[in-house]
Structure 1
Amino acid sequence: MSAGPAPRVVLATHNAGKLRELRRILAALIPGFDERVVVSAGDLGLPDVVEDAVTFDGNALLKARAAARATGLVAVADDSGLTVDVLNGCPGIFSARWSGRHGDDAANNALLLAQLSDIAEEHRGAAFVCAAVMVDAAGQETVKLGRMPGQLLREPRGDDGIGYDPLFLPEGQTLTSAELSPEAKDAISHRGIALRALAPVIAAALA
């Protein structure tokens, strides 16, 4: 029995949802795409990378460079977060640990709501931002950015999102990011925009 194609792209994440999303996007762009050519850093047992850069693209590049060095494969990574207008772009790169505990969505959301409690609706503008990057076998680096503007609500709505999704109403939408279907969210999300921009570069590396 054939073992299938060998992996050729490593997504520098331990997040299975991000891996599924990248595979979906590439499958739509590359005829005959086989999802087995893309694996995650978690699949390969790679350690997490310390994200100590001060920009989204800087942190994404740290992860992609480390994965490319460790595997010799084309490496893809992303870094993303929420930027709030009245907080001068914060939480930004600190989005996942805004409350002081990394990945505590409930605490992060509660703190953000408290900080904005006296802010009127017309000043609750925000945006999700994503930097998606690729580092190829020759060390060539490509960076693509995606942005989803919107507004922050006063209480969470929806159960399907992660992070600040239940508080975020994308521009032009009546549903929060946590209420949208995965397909509807992919079509407008910061990560979807950035990965679709990067996908042709990945496709060329696979050609």
Structure 2
Amino acid sequence: MTEPRIVLSTHNAKKLTELRSVLAEAMPGFDPALVTSASELSLADVVEDGVTFEQNALIKARFAAERTGLIAIADDSGIAVDVLGGAPGIFSARWSGRHGDDQANNDLLLAQLADVPDEHRGARFVCAAAMAHPSADGIATHVERGEMAGVMLRAPQGNGGFGYDPLFRPDGCAVSSAQLSAQEKNAISHRGRAFRALAPHVVALLGA
């Protein structure tokens, strides 16, 4: 049985699948069993009290690396709307006051943008992906950032994805993020870009 060497600090099975796919692309012959998750290791959640995506991702990655001794990867992501000064930002998952309530979050954001004309509805999804691992000097870290620019729609479109996907149309697309296939979304998404930027650093560690 393959022993895991990487832990993804998440309880989201879709993120685990995505990271395994990214690493397989970066390293032919990569064994997906090398990557496990916080859920599979029964890791507790850690308080994310950073004020940026990068800080929160690093908090989660450091925690997982300290608890497991493995290479740990974590991400923090959200949507940043131009006319709201970059909000909801790091508060995206709890914008309505209830963490993870996609419907309430979407309803509130739509209401806040109701009077904003189409030419000023620019936004972007942002993801910071962090890696932490034990080293001779303690816990070493590295972080990468990925973004996907687009516009906010006036009503939800599509049933795929999660979060704010039904309200967001990526630049260059005729449909919302929720109407893209998993492969189409991963190719352009903020998380896919951040994970791909981080992958060479993970591969180098695995090779070492």
TM-score (norm 2): 0.97
**Residue 151 of structure 1: how far off its partner (Å):** 0.1
Code of the aligned partner of 2:150: G
Any stretches of 5+ residues in structure 2 without a counterpart? none
The equivalent position to 1:72 in structure 2, one of 60, 64, 69, is 69
Code of the aligned partner of 1:190: H
Matches of 2:75 and 2:7 in 1, distance apart? 12
2:197 matched residue in structure 1: 197
SS state at 1:136 partner: strand
Whether the aligned pair in 2 keeps the contact of 1:136 and 1:205 (CA below 8 Å) is no
Matches of 1:131 and 1:44 in 2, distance apart? 23
Matches of 2:197 and 2:26 in 1, distance apart? 11
2:46 matched residue in structure 1: 49
1:145 matched residue in structure 2: 145
Code of the aligned partner of 1:103: G
SS state at 1:81 partner: strand
Any stretches of 5+ residues in structure 1 without a counterpart? none
**Residue 186 of structure 1: how far off its partner (Å):** 0.5
Code of the aligned partner of 1:164: Y
Code of the aligned partner of 2:78: G
2:162 matched residue in structure 1: 162
Matches of 1:65 and 1:33 in 2, distance apart? 24
2:93 matched residue in structure 1: 96
1:15 matched residue in structure 2: 12
SS state at 1:204 partner: helix
Matches of 1:55 and 1:110 in 2, distance apart? 24
Matches of 1:67 and 1:135 in 2, distance apart? 8
Q: Indicate whether 1:60 and 2:57 are aligned.
A: yes
1:28 matched residue in structure 2: 25
After the TM superposition, list the runs of 4 or more consecutive aligned residues in structure 1 that deviate by more than 3 angstroms. Answer: none
**Identity of aligned pairs, percent?**
62
**Residue 9 of structure 1: how far off its partner (Å):** 0.3
**Residue 136 of structure 1: how far off its partner (Å):** 1.7
SS state at 1:137 partner: strand
